[in-house]
Amino acid sequence: MGVSLVFKSLLIANRGEIACRVMRTARKLGVRSVAVYSEADAEALHVRQADEAYLLGPAPAGQSYLDLEAVLAAARASGAEAIHPGYGFLSENADFAEACATAGIVFVGPPPAAIRAMGSKSEAKVIMEAAGVPLVPGYHGEGQEPAALAEEAERIGYPVLIKASAGGGGKGMRIVEAAADIEAQLAAAKREAAAAFTDDRVLIEKYLERPRHIEVQVFADQRGQAMHLFERDCSIQRRHQKVIEEAPAPGLSPSQRADMGAVAVSAAKAIGYQGAGTVEFIAEDERFYFMEMNTRLQVEHPVTEMVTGLDLVEWQLRVAAGEPLPKAQEEIVLMGHAFEARLYAEDPERDFLPATGRLSHLSFPDASASLRVDAGVETGDAIGIHYDPMIAKIVVHGRDRATALGRLADALARTEVVGVKTNLALLESIARHPAFAAFEVDTGFIERNRADLFLPMEALSPEELACACLAELLHGRALAEARAAASGDPTSPWNDTSGWRLNAETQRRLVFLEGENRHEAVVHYRTDHFGIETGDRTLRATGRLESGGRLAFDLDGRRGRLTVVWRDRELDLLFPGGVRRLVLFDPLSAAEEAEAGSGSLTAPMPGKIAQVLVSEGVVVERGTPLVVMEAMKMEHTLAAPARGRILALRFAAGDTVEEGTEIVGFEVEEG
């Protein structure tokens, strides 16, 4: 397939890693890339990589990336011939697709009618049922009264799954185990659906106990041809959102693979589809059921690209330009196995709460034919509260599943992130878990194996403490040498770092704080090395600092390298087991502030108050829901930490709060 100018200019109506990924194909085809951005993204990577960029508006997505008119105005101003919507935001907005056509701009996606047909999960199931596609038992009707929905749940039989009719990504989704929980869970699902999709309609399905999530990549052109590019398994999930995907799906027989592909193509043809789409199935035992169709490119499309050798974004552009599908079904061949791991800014130990912060260090292993990283940020960039907290996707390929899985574990071990909490350690734990290697997998894998996957970090070892001491000593020496060279008196004793003392051994005591733990070591200065005394051991230590914050160390003859990131008195040491964050204790600094007592409830992350569930003066029991927060379009309920009285409510619904801000004044009752 030769390279040609399908379009001269392309506006990417998105941000982050998908915007950067689309630009990569545009550059390959010689197409000019136009970026759009919000005020919060003025310095974002996708803006820096584009040929030109246009400001849409303030940080909230509703005033920027979701502002249909602002995006079209940018397209007109730039002279863009086509708009690629990426995924999320306007990618499945039929009104936007129609507006593009009216403006004479090509929408790189399916026709508006196809988007509308699949935009409602309920309507989609009606269409699929008529086309003979198997469905999960459930209710997908128009009636949305809580009492009627409760009756339908009773008819289906608990447990049931409530799902937002207008969207995906785990938003507006709740598992209900018993009739007593349906009212509260239904209300929460509807609130979350309204916040994420401006549509609070839901459907109800029978909840399968140990299902697999398998999806089929489909493509169709404007000439009525449709085909599939095989399937992906996306069963590794947390909070109903995918974490690790792979292609092809393990354990499928050739006949199952053919059946699922044929059903997916039938689904695409049933709605007159065009472009890239994904038909998602839920499978249990030998049976599979239609779940939904995503009328866009999926986050996990790179694994399909790895096992087929195709560029799906290039296919999208060619089909949108009116070209036929580049290949026939029989020409698509599966080659090996691929995995994708989604690296998120989040805290797995706090129920995957989104995390924010500035990336003081971000490093990935070098790309190769078998390793690809799709990232939307670099060192120095910030992860804010307004958008999805994905940092990057790490994608690997191998001749078989075992080879690819080994490469995934290795790539994750060589990925380094400092400055924000991430799920990196969890991803590596999954990749190395024997049950995952044996593919004993379903959507409950993470929760079922929580004890193995969420291992507490081991106590700081003498060798790790010695590395921290060595890093600090060498760093201090480098700073002193730089100061001396820049000063008027390079030989001043104030720039000395030899540890010299009058009438005493040349030594220094270093104290590091790690959370509530205190680590001490005594450094003995020798002619050609340091003697680092930790407890009852003294390690002979030498080393040097290399570029990129790399510390090359030698401890009693054991040599190695690790990355160290300094931020004032804080050191982040990136060991194979994870990041150790240490603070160098300075006895001359101000006394540490004592942590506030339990007289308040603070925001665990930045976000917006969605609901206040209590009143001032009431007494509540431990675990009582007090406030519902919304962060990155997901709801999080804050509960009472103990029995106590509500003294003050600091915020109302709709208010925005920063992490650590007191939300509720709370008095714990004795006993």
Residue given tokens 């339908």 in the structure block: 152
Question: Is residue 526 among the annotated active site residues?
Answer: no
Q: Write the DSSP symbol of residue 548.
A: G
The string of DSSP letters for 322-391 reads TPPPSS-GGG----SEEEEEEEESEEGGGTTEE--EE-SEEE-PPPBTTEEEEES--TT-EE-SSS--EE
Count Cβ atoms below 10 Å from residue 314 Cβ, excluding itself: 18
Q: Which amino acid belongs to residue 116?
A: R
Nearest to 549, CA basis, from 419, 462, 456: 419
3-state secondary structure of 484: helix
**Are the CB atoms for 355 and 346 separated by under 8 Å?**
yes
User: Which among 375, 478, 450 has a CA at the least distance from the CA of 49?
Assistant: 375
Q: At residue 292, what is the residue type? A: E
| Residue with token string 């051994």 | 505
DSSP 503: T
Q: How far apart are CA 203 and CA 125, in angstroms?
A: 10
Give me the phi and psi of 307, to 5 degrees please. Answer: -90, -5
Q: What are phi and psi of 304, to 5 degrees?
A: -65, -40
C-alpha to C-alpha distance for 89 and 550, rounded to whole angstroms: 39
Active-site hit among 15, 296, 318, 508: 296
Can you say whether residue 508 is alpha, beta or left, with left for phi > 0 and alpha for psi between -120 and 50 degrees? beta
Beta strand segments in 61-121, E: 82-84, 106-107
Q: In 215-241, which positions are buried (b, 16+ CB within 10 angstroms) versus exposed (e)?
A: bbbbbbbeeeebbbbbbbbbbbbbebb
How far apart (Å, rounded) are the C-alpha atoms in residues 467 and 465?
Answer: 5
DSSP alpha helix (H) spans, 457-538? 462-486
Query: Which residues lie across from 161 on neighbouring strands?
Result: 175, 205
Rounded CA-CA distance 201/532 in Å is 64
* Structure tokens that stand for 258 in this block: 């053919």
User: Which residues are the active-site residues?
Assistant: 296
